[in-house]
Amino acid sequence: MSVPFIDLKTQYRQLKTAIDANIQTVLAHGQYILGPEVAQVEARLAERAGVGHCITVASGTDALRMILMAEDIGPGDAVFMPSFTFTATAEVAAVVGATPVFVDVRRDTFMLDPDDLTRRLEAVRQAGDLRPRAVLAVDLFGWPADYGFLTEFCDREGLLLIDDACQSFGGSLNGRPVGSLAPYSATSFFPAKPLGCYGDGGAIFTDHDEKAAILRSIRVHGQGAQRYDVARLGVNGRFDTLQAAVLLAKLDVFDRELEQREAAAWRYDVGLKDAVTLPPRIPNATSAWAQYCILTPKRDQVREKLQEQGIPTAIYYPLPMHRQPAYAHYAPGLDLPVSDALAREIVALPMHPYLDTETQDRICAAVKAAVA
């Protein structure tokens, strides 16, 4: 019996009536571009995140790139980020012409290491050829990064803090929702994310009124006050009305799904605590549990054993950014030992709200047998 890594089919079966009705509504009114559902979902997401503005966009990658564009970050600018992340984090800095500066992560959180960030900033200042501009923090696998430290650090050093919240929307830190933890946050509604639509999508969260207006302009080719005024460089970055309609239905059950993910994570923790290194749990925070990733030196044996039993696994991420062919030239001779070690030992297990206890028991037994 094979197990889904992420079970979107069960979710659709449970939400079919609402999703189908919302899609029918869009087909009936026909406003496929920036229709009423887009404004509705933006209002609900902004409220949920506790910020003044949510600007929905075509993907999480566009959300990140548009933030950099709105801040005029480009050639000559250094953007600090973890090397252990999805490629989009690094890509957006490079495509606007800025320089991604890769920083190592902490083994106990998988996120930006404050000591290494401090060292890398110092190194950039010493070299003197780049202007330090921003820290692009990644909330890896669903937990928020350390925004207490990061806010203080960025304020002190005159850097802009941006939250790559593509995996963490739904999480929180000290009672504050992801979306409100940095001056800008970017999330993704890619189908496999905790809050996913049925295609590509994303959103930007900010409290900055003026920048929110600029971001809305960038989203439609830099449009000015009149339709064919081009006030600035922009992109085609709109979120589809049909995707907004899907998201509206999914938002109704999102809190319940987050609880179900948390329950599934606890069942894994209990079942696997003596066999592997469990994923981090960050104090005073909640996770959206985008992924449940364990560490084990016997990763290959674990993957093989699970595959034999029809249980899929995934590796996030097999190669840190500073070693990727597309980015290695930004990091000549750079040694980030924790990122390298994580890439060797990490493996993600099936994680979604519809995991049943029996399936999880089977997965835990297989992992234990593999490492025994």
Ligand X SMILES: *Cc1c(COP(=O)(O)O)cnc(C)c1O
Shortest Å, Cβ 250 to ligand X: 15
Shortest Å, Cβ 278 to ligand X: 21
- Which amino acid, residue 150? L
Please report whether residue 206 would count as binding ligand X according to CB under 6 A.
no
The burial of 122, by beta-carbon neighbours within 10 Å (0-12 exposed, 13-18 middle, 19 or more buried), is given as: exposed
Degrees to nearest 5, angle at CA 198 with 265 and 238: 115
Q: How does DSSP assign 48-74, residue by residue?
A: HHTSSEEEEES-HHHHHHHHHHHTT--
Report whether 220 contacts 75 (CB < 8 A). Answer: no
Q: Quick one: which of 104, 116, 164, 257 contacts ligand X (CB under 6 A)?
A: 164
- Name the closest residue to ligand X (Cβ): 60
CB closer to ligand X, 85 vs 360:
85
Q: Which of residues 308-367 bind ligand X (CB under 6 A)?
A: none
Q: How many CB atoms lie within 10 A of CB 72?
A: 10
Cis peptide leading into residue 317 (ω within 30°) = yes
Phi, psi of 98 (to 5 degrees): -80, 175
The burial of 358, by beta-carbon neighbours within 10 Å (0-12 exposed, 13-18 middle, 19 or more buried), is given as: exposed
Q: Quick one: which of 11, 56, 61, 313 contacts ligand X (CB under 6 A)?
A: 61
Please report whether residue 88 would count as binding ligand X according to CB under 6 A.
yes
Taking residues 128 to 157 in sequence order and writing x for each that binds ligand X by CB under 6 A, - otherwise, the string is ----------x-------------------
Shortest Å, Cβ 88 to ligand X: 4
Using left for φ > 0, alpha for ψ between -120 and 50, and beta otherwise, residue 141 falls in left
Shortest Å, Cβ 138 to ligand X: 5
CB closer to ligand X, 62 vs 367:
62
CB closer to ligand X, 78 vs 321:
321
Please state, in angstroms and as integers, the Cα–Cα distance from residue 158 to each residue in 83, 132, 161, 164, 357, following that order: 22, 8, 10, 19, 48
Q: Quick one: which of 100, 202, 350, 353 contacts ligand X (CB under 6 A)?
A: 202
Please report whether residue 200 would count as binding ligand X according to CB under 6 A.
yes
Please report whether residue 60 would count as binding ligand X according to CB under 6 A.
yes
Q: Quick one: which of 11, 22, 83, 89 contacts ligand X (CB under 6 A)?
A: 89
Chain centroid to Cα 130, Å, comes to 27
Q: Quick one: which of 11, 22, 83, 85 contacts ligand X (CB under 6 A)?
A: 85
Shortest Å, Cβ 91 to ligand X: 9
Shortest Å, Cβ 316 to ligand X: 8
d(CA 115, CA 138): 16
Q: Quick one: which of 110, 143, 169, 190 contacts ligand X (CB under 6 A)?
A: 190
Shortest Å, Cβ 8 to ligand X: 15
Shortest Å, Cβ 11 to ligand X: 18
Shortest Å, Cβ 188 to ligand X: 3
CB closer to ligand X, 113 vs 200:
200
d(CA 17, CA 93): 41
Q: Which stretch binds ligand X (CB under 6 A): 20-28, 148-156, 163-171, 246-254?
A: 163-171
DSSP code, position 200 = -
d(CA 316, CA 342): 9
- Which amino acid, residue 331? A
> 3-class SS at 82?
strand
Please report whether residue 163 would count as binding ligand X according to CB under 6 A.
no
Name the token pair of 334. Answer: 């750079």
DSSP strand pairing (172-173 vs 160-164): unpaired
CB closer to ligand X, 167 vs 206:
167
Name the token pair of 270. Answer: 């209990």
* Residues making contact with ligand X (CB under 6 A): 59-61, 85-86, 88-89, 138, 164, 166-167, 188, 190, 200, 202
